[in-house]
Structure 1
Amino acid sequence: MKNTLLLAFFFLTSLIFGQKTTFTVKYSEQLAVYLFIENLSEHYPENVFKTEFQKSKYNTEHYNKLISNFDKLIVDYSFRFDEYPYGSKRNMQTNDILKKNLIETNNLTDFKLRSSGLIPNQTLTDLSSCIEEFTNVYNELIYNPNKEKFEKQLDDIKKYSSENNIAGYFETGLLFYNSSWDNAIPFVAAFYPLPNSKGFTAQAFCNNFISAIQIDLNSNKDLFSVMMHETYHIVYDEQSFEVKVAIDNYFKENKSKCSNYAYQLMNEVLATALGNGFVYEKLDGKPDPGEWYNKKYINLMAKQIYPVVKEYIDQKKAMDKNFIDTYIRLYEENFPNWIDELDNIMTYRYILSENETNRRKINQLFRYRSRAEFDSEITENSINKMKDTPLTKVVIISKNTTEKVKFLKNKFPELKEWKPNASKEFANKFFLSDKSQLIIINQKESTIEALFELMK
């Protein structure tokens, strides 16, 4: 009955909003300049933009001061959609909206007008002034030397998109994800040149995809399969509240001990199965024989679920309870040990540590993270907030161990029989009733890296 109601809702929204989405491919100078300045920041690693700037005549005190001022601008604020199940909908990021506005406006005056109120006006003015100052720098160093090849590349991309009906793959995703899209909102892909490179970048947000592409790109199928991978994250994000709640319930009702961590992995797995699996196979005529994603958990699970995804697409079915149950079963049958592997479970983490340097060290130790939260106090409030999430829960004690152990035992029934020696270092792991892992570490002299090694 629940599935019938969800499908009825899907078809109703299809009629209301329409399903013929316009795909637009373009170059945005304003966006390109903004991202160019970002790459010049001292916080960014070495890259081709920084190399070209540093050896140019523009590497002066004036421009370096502008870069320094740009670094100090706070443009990235976020807020959650708290009514949705935790983690099922992406936080809104003001930086994404600013990039969207740069793509969709033709000059900085219009950009400021559209973005007014999103960030403080003085910050917006300073940001716009910096983009204006660097426009000629960017054009002279990056765009103009690569203009001829890049514009030909862009024309080829537009032609390839049209000839291969890329918009159709968007519609495929809408149906599979049981999602919807207002056809009054075009999907805009903005490309800019990436000289002296053999790869390309990819990011999607709102109704946009952005990518820096090498000027001798020779595989449009690779580019478009990755583009659709990123786009499918947006399609998943735009599922209705009712669909999100139903999917969340399907996972919670499933009896498998793997259901929680399977759920945490699903967004990336499905985008990979559809983009790097289905779209690539359609564009190339055969499946990609290599890795579909450079993280083993996502790569292996995407390939495992792909035949089921393909079956649903062929039958024009939306993901439902049966799909979710099948997905969880395949996870448990093929990869039952993943729920104990630190490289997997630490991808989704909530850290409570009285030593704030541990935050940086854990980020270095487990670089890949999908969702991460941190609190520097072990209190009633912080524990309750952590318990309300399905994330891996890490509590690092640095002082008053006996008192903190007693407190944690009162908060987690699973610790009833736990009797640690508070005078010694320890690193213990517990499987909780919400099917997440709880890691409790008592840190005295050892590094956090050494203590995590105790659990391997």
Structure 2
Amino acid sequence: MKFLLLPLVLLLASAHVSFSQSIVRFKSSKPYAVLSFVETASGQEVHSSTFKRYIDTSALKNDTAFSSLLNDFGRINLSYNYSREEYPAGRRQTRSTYDLLIIAAVRSNSLREFQENSIGILSNNAHQQLFRVLEKAEPYYDRFVWAGSERSVKDQIIGLKKYEAKANEMFRAFRHLYNSTWPDAIPFDVSVFPIPAVSGNTSATPHANSLCVAVLTGNKDLPGTMGVTLHEICHVLYDEQSGGFQHELDAMFKTSRSPFAAITYGFFDEAMATALGNGYAYKHFTGQIDTTSWYNNPYIDGFAHAIYPLVEDYLAKKKTIDSSFVAQSIELFGKAYPRSLSDYSILLNNMFLYADAEASQDRARLKKIIGKYFSSSRYNFSSPVLHEYSIGYIKKSKATQLIIVDQNQDSTISELKKTLPELEALLKDQRSPNYVVSFFDNTKRPVVLIRVTSEAFLDKAFSLLKQKQYVDPATPLFIVE
């Protein structure tokens, strides 16, 4: 079972630090299942390529009413961002109303209850539109997914509950390692939703204490599902470190003299969750280490394997992440991946993305094109490209700068030259309407600028970046044909 994220179990602790109830509560949430079904079918949020393929090859592909429903869904913006500025910029400052919607869905047992629990998150008009779509989509979900999956989901939930006691132990140990503030009194609700398939890929996502875990209806690897669940809980524990400790950890990476420190920092959250959930937890549940890959990204998988002995040692000694742990992690990553500093798949994993796409459907298409070639664990999006906030980020943000110029190309690039003076020489005498220029600026920060005249050329540009793999200072510009 690959590339699953893990939720964790939490119990009420007594004065003797013993748990009286599980921290993980497995359930089947119909509202979330219907929402994820519509998201996947529309391509807005593809929870699993296996699930998407199942939907696309079913009788739904020729159902015009269902297609119209998906078009209506695509016009609803579910995500409005807000910031928690008390956290360091290198951590996840930005949160979204989308998380609040998912939390409401997981906690609800019916669409009606979900509708009531989510009032106020979106505008009243968008809220009504969303539930008109979900109510019409529910019969499709019942017929094409739930009818043949119900028994498997219920059986798997029964089986997963048998691991709760061991999960409680690991939650406590992981929380101490992370130095996290998550309280014993707040358990995690894990919404298990089905993908009608015997084999394939699944997904899992954390939303505070509401975790969403997809399972294959033919799944027999319950320890693997538990590992994924704990993986997701680790993300929550990392997010919920105190502001003070986040700043301390942030400083440990940023004061390192290693050129690999920033890249290691970008992968640290995912690699830790993978080492703990897919590595340590799986071993704890089964008595043996999983000898297959733990994550479908080679860098994250390799980094997680590299730090696994360190993680195991700290857990055994009941130690908390400290400067020595961070320094050793950076050293291990640098030894494993000496060319990572110029690898596009690394550079685009943690980035600031700028584009003129402001409508939700335009942003979704952009995200889909990028996701076709590169995965990004963290990115901040700003539009329009020349907005004062965007220019401010381009001037000051430390992460990779990915700038997509597909509107008002000449005037936009002319203005960008004022902020990125390297462009003047790199684009001298350049006449092609479609190109990519990538370089390291005078602060050694990676910058990738893509100028295209259509969505088709944008897709070709990312395909070329994937093929080239590394930034090459000798040939910083290449034409997209």
Which range moved further: 47-56 or 250-259? 47-56
Partner of 1:429: 439
Conservation of the 8 A alpha-carbon contact between 1:429 and 1:455? yes
1:69 and 2:72 are equivalent in the alignment: yes
User: Is the CA contact (8 Å cut-off) linking 2:394 and 2:419 kept in structure 1?
Assistant: no
- Are the structure 2 counterparts of residues 359 and 210 from structure 1 closer, same or farther at C-alpha, using a change threshold of 3 Å? closer
Q: Return 5+ residue gaps in structure 1 as ranges.
A: 1-13
**Paired residue total:** 431
Distance in 2 (CA, whole Å) between partners of 1:394 and 1:313 is: 38
Structure 2 letter corresponding to 1:243: F
Q: Which amino acid aligns with 1:145?
A: G
Contact preservation (8 Å) 1:19, 1:182: no
Q: Is the counterpart of residue 382 in structure 1 residue 383 in structure 2?
A: no
Return the alpha-carbon distance in structure 1 between the equivalents of residues 117 and 32 of structure 2: 15
Q: 1:261 to 1:141 in 2, by over 3 A?
A: closer
Aligned counterparts of 1:347 and 1:197: Cα–Cα separation in 2: 31
For 2:37 and 2:252, how far apart are their aligned partners in 1? 44
Checking the alignment, whether the CA contact within 8 Å between 1:19 and 1:171 is kept in structure 2 is no
Q: Deviations over 1:303-354 (max 9, x none)?
A: 1111111111111111011111121122233323211222211222335578
Deviation at 1:47, TM superposition (A): 3.1
Identity of aligned residues (%): 25
The alignment status of 1:222 with 2:228, answered yes or no, reads no
Contact 1:375 1:382 in 2 (8 A): yes
CA distance in 2, matches of 1:239, 1:403: 43
What corresponds to 1:368 in structure 2? Answer: 375
What amino acid does structure 2 have at the position aligned with 1:207?
Answer: N
Q: Measured at CA, do residues 112 and 150 of structure 1 come closer, stay the same or move farther in structure 2, by a change above 3 Å?
A: closer
Is the contact between residue 269 and residue 299 of structure 1 (CA under 8 Å) also seen in structure 2?
Answer: yes
SS of the aligned residue for 1:329 comes to helix
Give the secondary structure class of the aligned counterpart of 1:349. Answer: strand
- Aligned letter for 1:385? Y
- Identify if the C-alpha distance between structure 1 residues 260 and 23 changes in structure 2 by more than 3 Å, giving closer, same or farther: same
Contact 2:38 2:137 in 1 (8 A): yes
What is the CA deviation profile of residues 359-412 of structure 1, one whole-angstrom value per residue up to 9, with x for unaligned ones? 6797267421223335554587634312332211246785479966863466xx
What is the match of residue 260 of structure 1?
262
Q: 1:47 aligned to 28, 47, 53, which one?
A: 53
- Structure 1 window deviating more from structure 2 (89-98 vs 373-382): it is 373-382
Q: Give the 3-state SS of the residue equivalent to 1:183 in structure 2.
A: coil
Distance 1:354 1:141 in 2: 38
Aligned to 2:191: 190
Counterpart of 2:289 in structure 1 is 287
What amino acid does structure 1 have at the position aligned with 2:374? R
Match of 1:152 among 151, 155, 171: 155
Which residue number corresponds to residue 324 of structure 1? 326
Higher relative contact order (CA 8 A, sep 6+): 2
3-state SS of paired residue (1:47): helix
Structure-2-length-normalised TM-score: 0.77
1:276-324 Cα distance to aligned partner (Å, 9 max, x none):
1111221222222222211111111111111111111111111011111
> Equivalent residue for 1:3?
none
Could you give the per-residue CA deviations for residues 121-141 of structure 1, whole angstroms, max 9, x where no partner exists? 233234334434443443344
Give TM-score scaled by structure 1 length. Answer: 0.81
1:15-61: CA deviation from partner (whole Å, max 9, x where unpaired): 99x895621111122222222233333666743245445289xx464
SS of the residue corresponding to residue 273 of structure 1 reads helix
Instruction: Work out the CA distance in 1 between the residues paired with 2:142 and 2:464.
Output: 51
Structure 1 residues 248 and 275: alpha-carbon distance in aligned structure 2, compared to 1, 3 A threshold:
same
Q: Deviations over 1:161-213 (max 9, x none)?
A: 23x52122222221111102123322111112322341433222111221232
Relative distance call for 1:42 and 1:201 in structure 2 (3 A) is closer
Q: Tell me how large the CA RMSD over aligned residues is.
A: 3.8
Question: Match of 1:175?
Answer: 176
CA spacing shift, 1:342–1:108, aligned 2, 3 Å: closer
